[in-house]
Structure 1
């Protein structure tokens, strides 16, 4: 990896440095290879470590680099397609759902979610945690919030192992009127970061889905996707898909 002088570059130093680093990644490094430490990189390019860190963070956000606990910064593998569209119009856990359930608790929902559900701030709701993997790697984690009123037939003596399956089963017995989604860039919370093998505060894509039944919001799912490996595309049908480097595809219509 060579050196460069950035003092007279008109654009921000970190942005130009990012371009130089991209050229180096394409020509000098293999997927999974560990980059030199920040001190060495900053010295080679004649920049402050803060400038270097900005460039690395941008490359991580764009999916070119990955920061891994106990390893360091590595060259990211090509992105894989992760379809979001096919689940539209069905309850979570329906046939073909690619998510894996890992647990369920009863606890108060975050204030913003409670407001959408119309529940009291301290009212416990069923909270199902699910994880989605591709190629042996966790790419997303989800919290599904289900008020007690949405699953009135749920038994009261469930074991921890039966809790999540029972909640999903009761949801499937309810008529689904429709759903909608919103997507935004966020920061990984500690538990989500652990599930996704990311550092807390890392950039993530947050997909919030509201499920409607009987004229009200019957459940809310908040799915957190790795922003370093995922980008969103929207098809003409309105279906949505997450793709990875070099694999532009459209989700099938629901």
Structure 2
């Protein structure tokens, strides 16, 4: 038996991976994580950049890259006039049920706020998702989810017009959004499925989340069924640095300003 240790080599064309050197900032990120876990507690302020770069023997530019990465991951929080703090760990509370079905109602410290509501022809991609013909009319309600005053998610809820035949004609805006949500409640959702994937915030979602484009997000796509047919699709974009979602029976845990807050799901 060949007992030589496995070594990843540059064997292009042979189906194996090429060895890649670990960037200095990434190695420093790992070292900083170990240091934070052993020497610092939640909410504690880290030493300034000059002290940290001297301690670990790295350039300030490398240190900033590592700190930026840890902030992006939600492990650090920067506060103007205070410094860089160790963020609270994200704690997951199971999520179930149809989220925020009542528009902008407040439940358990969370609030869904309507941004706008439009009705128009479905694009080719949206038509495929909803099982419609391209150009069929679709209602789209955009909302944000706010917890303890912090926007943690943006959602686009797409409902085929044919699924809401009794929707009254109302003006655009909050009244129309409330009408779509109210009629969807009356239709009676009898089944749903969810999928979650990691993504980055595009310009529109980033603006609603008050984060720069490219910010890591968790994209939750929920399909709602009624009477054996697809009734609506919601695409919810959660800040990955703030939220940790798990699936079960109660709600969603979000980390806001260094504290973990539980938000009930209606």
Could you state the TM-score of these two structures normalised by the residue count of structure 1? 0.71
Number of the residue aligned with 1:15 = 26
Number of the residue aligned with 1:101 = 114
**Unpaired runs of 5+ in structure 1?**
1-9
Number of the residue aligned with 1:92 = 101
Q: What is the CA-CA distance between 1:187 and the residue it aligns to?
A: 0.4
Q: Aligned equivalents of 1:52 and 1:110: distance in 2?
A: 42
Number of the residue aligned with 1:60 = 71
Q: What is the CA-CA distance between 1:15 and the residue it aligns to?
A: 3.2
| 1:104-143 per-position Cα deviation (integer Å, ceiling 9, x unaligned) | 1124456443312112333341110111111211111111
Equivalent position to 1:158, from 153, 158, 171: 171
Contact 1:104 1:164 in 2 (8 A): yes
Q: What is the CA-CA distance between 1:226 and the residue it aligns to?
A: 0.6
| 1:35-91 per-position Cα deviation (integer Å, ceiling 9, x unaligned) | 759xx969x7535947853x34541343113589x99x9546436768662434x88
Secondary structure, aligned partner of 2:187: coil
Equivalent position to 1:123, from 123, 136, 152: 136
Aligned Cα RMSD in Å?
Answer: 4.3
Equivalent position to 2:206, from 162, 170, 193: 193
Q: Aligned equivalents of 2:78 and 2:234: distance in 1?
A: 27
Could you state the TM-score of these two structures normalised by the residue count of structure 2? 0.69
Q: What is the CA-CA distance between 1:243 and the residue it aligns to?
A: 4.7
Q: Aligned equivalents of 2:74 and 2:189: distance in 1?
A: 36
Return the structure number with greater strand share.
2
Larger radius of gyration: 2
Contact 1:63 1:230 in 2 (8 A): no
Equivalent position to 1:222, from 235, 238, 241: 235
**Unpaired runs of 5+ in structure 2?**
1-20
Note if 1:141 corresponds to 2:150: no
